[in-house]
């Protein structure tokens, strides 16, 4: 977020929430993936934002506030409306653009890198649900802070 005209890095939960809300502002109306949120998942944004904010707070800040399993929800969504590579590519493009519009720094880059890993892992598992989970599919929670 800007601070006196300069773009800063993601620093706290409030930043994670601003990022998540800004992303969904775009994603819900996106002509490629918007229907997945609104028509298929029927996403309750106000219920979802705290959960996904906790996910990103855990991934980026090491807060340990997220304990859910995201893949199962996406597998159920995939059963309703096949999630295709283009859906993941669009999600990643919107996420990266949202990050880049609001933040810059180590955690901002980490947010984009984690999103790429999540998308790749979900695509592999959706393509072959019986495939074993590989080390590359696991999300590593790291702690980041001032040096």
CATH number at residue 120: 1.10.490.10
Instruction: Give residue 135's pLDDT.
Output: 53
23 within domain boundaries: yes
What pLDDT is recorded for position 66?
86
28-65 pLDDT, tens digit per residue, is: 999 999 999 999 999 999 999 999 999 999 999 999 88
Provide the residue range defining the domain that includes 72: 8-137
**Is there a domain that residue 75 lies in?**
yes
pLDDT of residue 144: 39
**pTM for the structure as a whole:** 0.82
Does the residue 51 lie in any domain? Answer: yes
Model confidence band, residue 68 (pLDDT cutoffs 50, 70, 90): confident
The predicted pLDDT at position 137 comes to 44
Q: Tell me the C-alpha distance between 108 and 112, whole Å.
A: 7
> Does some domain include residue 86?
yes
Is residue 142 in a domain? no
Beta bridge partners of 7: 2
In a domain? residue 146 = no
* Number of independent structural domains in the chain: 1
pLDDT at 147: 37
DSSP label at residue 5: T
Question: Is 16 within the bounds of a domain?
Answer: yes
pLDDT digits 0-9 by tens, 5-35: 678 999 999 999 999 999 999 999 999 999 9
CA distance 55 to 19: 12
Q: What does the alpha-carbon distance between residue 29 and residue 107 come to, in Å, rounded to a whole number?
A: 27
Residue at 1 is within a domain: no
Strand (E) or helix (H) holding 124 = helix 106-127
Ramachandran quadrant class, 26 (left: phi over 0; alpha: psi -120 to 50; beta: rest)? alpha
pLDDT in tens, 93-145: 999 999 999 999 999 999 999 999 999 988 998 987 666 655 544 444 434 34
């Amino acid at each position: 977020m800007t601070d006196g005209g300069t773009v800063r890095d993601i620093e706290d939960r409030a930043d994670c929430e601003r990022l998540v809300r800004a992303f969904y502002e775009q994603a819900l109306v996106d002509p490629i993936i918007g229907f997945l949120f609104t028509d298929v998942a029927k996403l309750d944004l106000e219920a979802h934002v705290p959960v996904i904010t906790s996910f990103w707070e855990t991934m980026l800040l090491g807060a340990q506030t997220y304990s859910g399993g995201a893949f199962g929800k996406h597998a159920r969504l995939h059963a309703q409306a096949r999630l295709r590579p283009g859906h993941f590519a669009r999600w990643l493009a919107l996420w990266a653009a949202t990050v880049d519009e609001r933040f810059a720094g180590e955690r901002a880059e980490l947010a984009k890198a984690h999103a790429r890993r999540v998308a790749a892992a979900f695509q592999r598992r959706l393509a072959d649900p019986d495939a074993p989970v590989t080390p590359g599919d696991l999300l590593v929670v790291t702690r980041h802070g001032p040096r």
